[in-house]
Structure 1
């Protein structure tokens, strides 16, 4: 089962890279599947179906499809059963929105109409002597992923006179073993005012349920990307 979970994480990262290479809004969430699996869980299978649908739409629109080189090698090594897993259960990606609209004040929200929020896929355990490894259970926001989206959507306030821009802000935080948010910093910014507001919103989040390793709470680094798309004139 340990190997299955590790394979699941690797494939999840591959899907994220393919989505990013093709400019597809894509949300991944932590695996909650209990039991011995072939490397994917029902939610992961839903992610695969969503990604396939989006890639097919791009192809039908005459757009080129970009692939991630590492995925081809892993596909051959793991086989299709590892990529797609067992039969799909009731879980559906439709329950996890792939695009979140963040509405600022009407007078300020004209330049940017949509903001997507993606959950982090890579979680790194932090030890005193540096990076340690992967956690077995990732931290969770109170109420789950949708509640995190709603929190950012409802609390982000567009700066006055925002420039018309598109881009991604990546905020890295440390979620302590007590679930507290510390060390919030911008890893990738798009505009000083937007970066500052994103930091404010993230730094004021309520306590999370901490990540665990071997059944014990641990400090975990977590990245939250927020994507802005400028309104098309």
Structure 2
């Protein structure tokens, strides 16, 4: 019986030693990957884009009558050639607010495409546009 207890003690001791995990050695070199990334941009920047939209947008008559206002959101892709594709409305205020903003975006000139390390890439763009009758009247006059 004494032998079995001693044997059992050795088995437990050695099984514990073999079950320990060896620490992994960390890399000796820190590598810094720098990328030069530029987002897609409307020609002239965001301010020019907003002025362009305000000058082109027509506040729908039904929305005006019902005092409908809010932040209309749409998304679209700016392809590597600067063309806008896959325009989708993300809000649904009704009264053709989203349709009107989509109409204006379709008339935009080609954008400056996004790039990573000098290579032109496609980028999805989210446009949040506050629209109400006061803003539209302000920019139309």
Give the TM-score normalised by structure 2. 0.63
State the distance in 2 between where 1:215 and 1:179 align. 14
1:31-70 aligned within 5 A:
none
The 8 Å contact of residues 77 and 124 in structure 2, kept in 1 or not, is answered as: yes
RMSD value over aligned CA atoms? 2.2
- In 2 relative to 1, CA 229–155 (structure 1 residues): closer, same or farther, beyond 3 Å? closer
Output the CA distance in 2 between the equivalents of 1:200 and 1:189: 15
C-alpha displacement at 1:190, in angstroms?
A: 1.3
Q: Where does the alignment leave 5 or more consecutive residues of structure 1 unmatched?
A: 6-134
The answer as to whether partners of 2:60 and 2:95 remain within 8 angstroms in 1 is: no
Confirm whether residue 177 of structure 1 aligns to residue 84 of structure 2: no
Would you identify which runs of 4 or more consecutive aligned residues in structure 1 move more than 3 Å?
Answer: none
Q: Which residue of 2 aligns with 1:206?
A: 109
Q: Which residue of 2 aligns with 1:139?
A: 40
User: Which residue does 1:152 correspond to in 2?
Assistant: 53
Unaligned runs of 5+ in 2: 1-31, 135-141
Q: Give 2:26's aligned residue.
A: none
Corresponding residue for residue 166 of structure 1: 69
Total equivalences in the alignment: 99
Larger relative contact order (Cα-Cα within 8 Å, sequence gap ≥ 6)? 2
Residues 158/229 of structure 1: CA separation in 2 closer, same or farther (3 Å cut): closer
Q: Tell me, in whole angstroms, the C-alpha distance in 2 between the residues paired with 1:182 and 1:155.
A: 19
1:187 aligns with 2:97: no
Q: CA deviation at 1:158?
A: 1.1
Partner of 1:227: 130
Q: Is the 8 A contact 1:175 1:182 kept in 2?
A: yes
SS of the residue 1:161 aligns to: helix
